Structure 1
């Protein structure tokens, strides 16, 4: 029987802990690549998986807080690379990689997230045609959700004035990219639905990269678009750009301008259409009268009875002919009255809408005038900015002696040089 060693004896815990320390000091942070398999997310929210290549595999984990920073959802079969530290899970004595960050190899994380969300929403039925709401033929009120300063809004307003200036446009300005854009878009959609004033919503923004479209590729924005009671037309980016919001929307337009054209009919074409319908109705009435006259003539010609019988019934025939002509005249008069009534009603409707929008325009101009910076300047205030780059100064900490400043007054401008700066 072997004698008991007199040197240092390790317990399992101490040996494991020292091996763990050695590993963590030797491999503090390393980049590792491999394919994900056996991916699982228990109730803790941490993600556990096996990272493997053709010859080997290793256990790995990315904790919940780090996973929330990822722009895609890890899944089996995806090849990734990431920054990790090597450690030992002491209860089992197995070594593992603890990832701080992951990125997919090849295709970008944004594109993977896009395809994953697209597949998820498609499975939920968000893209089904049966859920698409019809776009009204002629809306008196249209809500526009877009940047308040972008080219998209200017294009939509220009097209509206050109095609049907009587239609009222309600603009809900939002951020279309960056922090807070997603929430502002959602709140604007909810606000429009709560008011129930608009008959259609245009959700739009100009062109950009796939990163710029992140708010329109959000699942929460997709939920808001899908649940909207008011039909939504999207016009995001250019013709080749597609977002999740485009797939969920009731109608997708390739550009903001195209969205405006889909929502706003051409007033001139509508007027021409009414005129053509009236012409067709007049023609139809004329053809009907001609046909009846031909029938009378034909019947009169085909009567082959003795002259006395014809003579005895002549007055009856004339009476019937007169009654028929009177009925036809009455029918013509009634149809013309209906046409005139419909025409008057349509023109009155257009006039009411025009007057209402004119009053709203005057109100908005009055409010805009009250909020104008020039109005503030006229009360003795001024605007101070750097003379070289025109950047407005809001705090003296940004100014130093000898800086050249431009002071804008209600009337005129002053150029000055700073001598001293007081905090």
Structure 2
């Protein structure tokens, strides 16, 4: 072996080189596994092994990082960790140096939380320039939360205690479980469509990360960002942080704190009311003083101007105008009377009454002549009809039958006048003046 070979490492240098490769090669990784061989050192550091069904890796989580986990891991617990691969040079063991740990379910949610947070921050949803300020005067508050949750009770209690004059409009929403994010977003859009409140409080009471997850969904973040109404995010307890807190115009640590932000205490309201009352009294006093001064001026003017003289002049003018009006009215009446008389005379002259009487007489004469002609015509027609009846009776077979004659018909219904054409035993029909008889020839 060539001792001058530059590739010869010492154990320490080899471990340092391996450590450098491990730390720079993969970078930050996420790892899911089961905790075993957990040791909590006196220094506060945690040492344990993460394993799955066929492999394991040593892990270390130092005191400064494990304080932020919010829980103490247990043997056999399934967790999701984030860290960098490294190597413990003293023993040559490679290990994972962990900076974040969460139970596996919450860990996945936190990973999604961080990813969405980065995405929305890049889109500008957290930018301060888009934050709306709360109105100076707030009269009506909208609350988007569960209608049966403790958060609504806390908000109403605080508002009633601090500022009972405030009106509250509740937009009931699902705040936990599947579809809760869409429910919150729909209520935000509804409140903006109605425009019936000055500010919105969106939130709920405390819970696990999974319970609060709807306030970490993109649909809620975009609904808050696009809201025209100012929105206060009040999700969970003071330590809870959600995506809606970053997007909202203002964040409150709790729902009760949000209610305090939008309300004024009774003492402040009373102080403001007292100030307004004082200002009103001063304004009324100033107006009364001004009116009193104006009244004194008018009294002085009235003393220098006697109204009786003006009343006499106005009375005289009124009498003169009355006489002129009466004279004008009489003149108009006389003119109209003369005009009416003239029109009546013209109407009498051209009246159709005489013509109507003449025509009526002519009509009466024509009716009389018509009636006489009709009677003569009827008489002539009656005489003619009587003569024609007499002639008809003279030639009528009925008259002959009435004198005792008869009409004989054979069996075929033909009239017969010759007895030789009938045979003994023939049935004949004899038509008399009154009725018919059947007979047999003998």
Q: TM-score range by the shorter chain?
A: 0.3 to 0.5
Higher relative contact order (CA closer than 8 Å, sequence separation 6+): 1
Scaled by the length of structure 1, the TM-score of the pair is 0.43
Q: Which has the higher helix share?
A: 2
TM-score by length of structure 2 reads: 0.41
